[in-house]
Structure 1
Amino acid sequence: MATLASLTLAALLALGLPAHAQPQNGARDDTTVRIGVLAYKGPEAVQRDWSRLRLWLQTRLPGRSVELLDFDQVGLTHAVRARAVDFIITSSGHYATLEQDDGASRIATLASPWSASPQLAIGSAIVVRRDAALQALADLAGKHVLAVAPEAFGGYQIAAREMLAAGVDPERDLDRLQFNGFPTQQILLAVRAGRADAGIVRSCLLEQMIRSGELGAGELRVLAPLPHPGSSCQSSSRLYPDWPFAALRHTAPALSRQVAVALLTMAPTADGYSWAVPSDYGSVDELFRELRIGPYDYLRQWTFETALRRYWGLLLLALGLLVLWAVHTVRVEQLVAKRSAELLAAQQRERGMADEAQARQAALDHTARLAILGEMASAIAHELNQPLAAIGNFARGMARRIAAGRTETAPLLEGANEIAAQSERAADIMRKVRALAQKRAPERRKLDLTAVMDEAVALFRAAHPQARVDWQADAPAPVLGDALQIQQVALNLLKNALDAQRGADDAGAEACTGAAETPLVVTLRARERDWQVCVRDRGCGLAPEQFARLFEPFFTTKAEGLGLGLSLSKGIMESFGGTLSARPNDDGVGLSVCLTLPNFDLSETP
């Protein structure tokens, strides 16, 4: 047992615990309540400042004795982990670390007469000499600054946050940052003596030392103090909760309740100190997170090795997900490439089919025009005979005059002019026939529908001199289309109308009242957003079942017809955004077939 006790004593000494914190004879006295106190003013100040608390607890815990044990911050942490103390009184920052790492739990918060409330009590005072040129925290750059310790809450960490906010990094921008440890009074004495430009201490320490006479009232001042209504101390920082009285993970719950009741019922000391319900220490956690210290120290020391050690499970899972994502991506890319190739092949097939259909449509259009020309050939030849006969007559007449010696200029000039006029007439007929017979790709461009219909009617009249056409137009009609194809549709409608009236004439008066000599009425009218051309005949019309199939391919009522004219004409008009329709005349005699084309001036420019 003696050997075991010696080993235990050696272990506690190695932890840095004071001798009075170490159990005697290797056994823990359960009747003694040990309170570890952070001795920021030194060991003597602990017994002096907290003696009334010890006596009060002694009276409120019958059968137990109460001991106050003084520690520096490192020693107090070791004592907590060695279970050498039952309760602790320490700084807010130190408590927050012990709460996170060692399960400390606050049961009361100190209420100081120097502050407005326990929630806003602790800050840092950056103290300089009264005559120092320093006015703002930014002026500390390049200066020699004293502080308590890196882990000291009011003695360094709070001030470090404010300095960073002012643009001064205490670890890089100061000429020298020196940590002096406890007691903190020595920092203010060193600044007064000129051994440093500034010192960081817990707020209120300067005022307490002035009150005790350790410092003169005009020797030092707080740098850049912030306004804190209700506080009796100047502070260079924001304020945080005051010191907590905390139980530890191994402290008996019943004992914690007894001590908590005793603290909250304790009367204020002569100096005005008392205990209040536990405050919220979330602002301390926020400071630690911003400075990346305490529980957030890993953010400062972030390396691949620490990340791997801390998060190896998550990293392994992420790696597995990454591999799965890569495999999925490759698979998707393969499927996309395959699908894209299939779509490209399908588009090429569709494009080929569209080109083939377009070529077939063009061939059908050309065939239809040739069919129209074939039907009109004899009439066109007859029409050409007239100017040719006139040319021959004038030429022979001029030859006879010359042979007879009658060479007057006026008659010969008149004959020459007539020959030229008749040749122009023949050339115009041939030009229209050649254009109609030409095989070419259709063109979409702006046209005057009135002018296009003028040429179509003129060509029809030349091919069918016996036909009477009553052509009526309002004004120029701007449309978008191909003049040749529109003329093809118009000629087809005119030819069908003429054939319908001839069929009526052949059928006799008993069948219908139409006649071949009745004029074909062709009108062009402006509507709201388009132009409409109607060809009206006075034929026998169509039976209802024939009318329903009028625009079907290969449907015809003619003995020698192919049944393609109206079908092709409908496709041509729809390709230009127009329509082709038919309706019986209002008086029930004959049929009106109408084409429409959008008004170009009311539509978008192509």
Structure 2
Amino acid sequence: MLTVALLDTLINPFDSFDLYRTIRHLEKALPQYRWRTMTVSAAEARETIERDRPDFLFAPSGFVVTVGVEQSISAFRIATRKTRLADKAEASVGSAFVVRTSDGFRTLEALRGRAAGASLPSGVESWLAAAGEIAETGADPERFFSRVDFRNNAYPDVISSLLAGKIDVAVLPACLLETLVSQGLADGSDLTVVHEKSGGLDCRHSTALYPDVSLLAMVWAPERAVRDVTVELLSLAPSDDGFEWLTNVSFASVRSLMYRLQVGPYAYLRDMSFSGIVSRWKKEILAALALLLLLVANEFRLQALVRRRTQELRDAALEQRKTAEEAAKARARLALFERRSVAQQMSGMIAHEVNGPIGAVRTYGVVLKMAAVALRKGRETGDIEAVRRYEAALEEAASGIEHEAVRIADIVARVRAHAKHEAGRREPCAIATIVEKSLRVLGTECGPEDAACIDVTIEPGLTVSGDALELEILVLNLLRNALRVAGELPAGTSEPERRVSVRARRVETNTIRLEVANPCPNLSDRLVERLNRRTTELSVEICDESDGADTTAGSDARATPAQRGLGLGLSICRGIAESHCAALRFERRDDRVVAVVEFAALRAPSP
């Protein structure tokens, strides 16, 4: 059993006849189904359809759009009717403003303020199309006519009122006037259409055109029945009943008409009450409220963050004050420690650096005693040659003592200047001259034999900016350490293996490298690391007999206290190197340890 429902809002009375004729055609073409028809009131369509559950529904375009927008009924459109008088299915119906010819109305504007009559106000092919046309002219459809009398049917109710003079203009569905006149149901001799349009439909019409009746299938309709009805309906030839059914017909024009007139599914646009506004702008209002709530929550969050950050700043400021106070106390303790360290360093430097000149003075003193005794014996014996020789020796010894005394005074002056943080005078110093003077002093201290076992390789023209005496002390300390380690090698070590080398060369455009190398076969990487660590220490360590740390290049923890000395050599070398913006480090190359000092080369003067 298939139930087909028809809405009672079909404006054109002939539509019902045509649709029933279409249903009878389907009954003949599909005899496997039993057919039943029913009429549904548009006002109670939802309740009636839910209760009676028809399978198919013939409905005008206005109802189809309302169902599609509101989704109040679970149905889908399968076909739309097209009259053979229309060019397109989406432009098949419209309205016509029909007036009496004797009244002399020729334009739509002439009808303003007149009485009008129309069928149901919800019909697209009746009042809605006419209202849309009036709105297109810029007028208000609800105030354009003095009154509008709505009737259930266009024929005979509306057309009779016009012929009887009760209204001035009748709003009729397009093609209805021609049908009534052709069938002799109305006298059209005194009737005419105002604001007539041409094209799209072979009937007199005054408005835009819209889609005609559509067939809707309910979601519960049998699938095979929907398929069979759709196929048969689309196969219906226009010659059979003057209509054909098509799919893929746009209803955008009907939706636009209803939205512009604010009727049907868009009637809520007319409601300006609070509930109407909320209903119309529900999504936007909810989004605004959500945004406002988010802003309020963010404001509370920001205030909480500000309070927390402020407290953190207070805590940080308090901690900073505490840290500053502790740092001030630490600086005071450090200053006291530094003053003590300076006193220790000065005494150590004096003891370390003056030790060599004092030894030389003692040597010259012994020479003076020996020369004096020999001179006295020569005079007693009358040996003139011996007297001259020993007198020369006395003069040389006296000159040596004077030279060493001046050197001791200079060293003390330098130490005092260093203690007072006075910058020494800087002047160009030739590396070759510095090494030569250091070797001369070393020969006086240790003897010519030790100085002769040093190999010297100096590139010519190497010059740095600095204090000559400090650089001499730097080289002299490195040579002393190297000779001391070489002298501690086993007795069976050959002479070439004991030799110490001094090498100076330019490694880069602005860098001069001075290397002092001595043999040290038992030196480990750990000891080299300790040597390099000592050259970067900030404090001065004075090693006594209980200190097992070595401070000389190549000595180990088993060295005697006499071999370890005061432990100030590398500290003094480091201080001199840093004061000349140089770097001091130690490297192990095979069985030799190399003290490397890198200076910034002195730029040659511009011509």
The TM-score bracket by the shorter chain reads 0.3 to 0.5
TM-score scaled by length of structure 2? 0.46
TM-score scaled by length of structure 1? 0.46
Instruction: Give the greater-gyration-radius structure (CA).
Output: 2
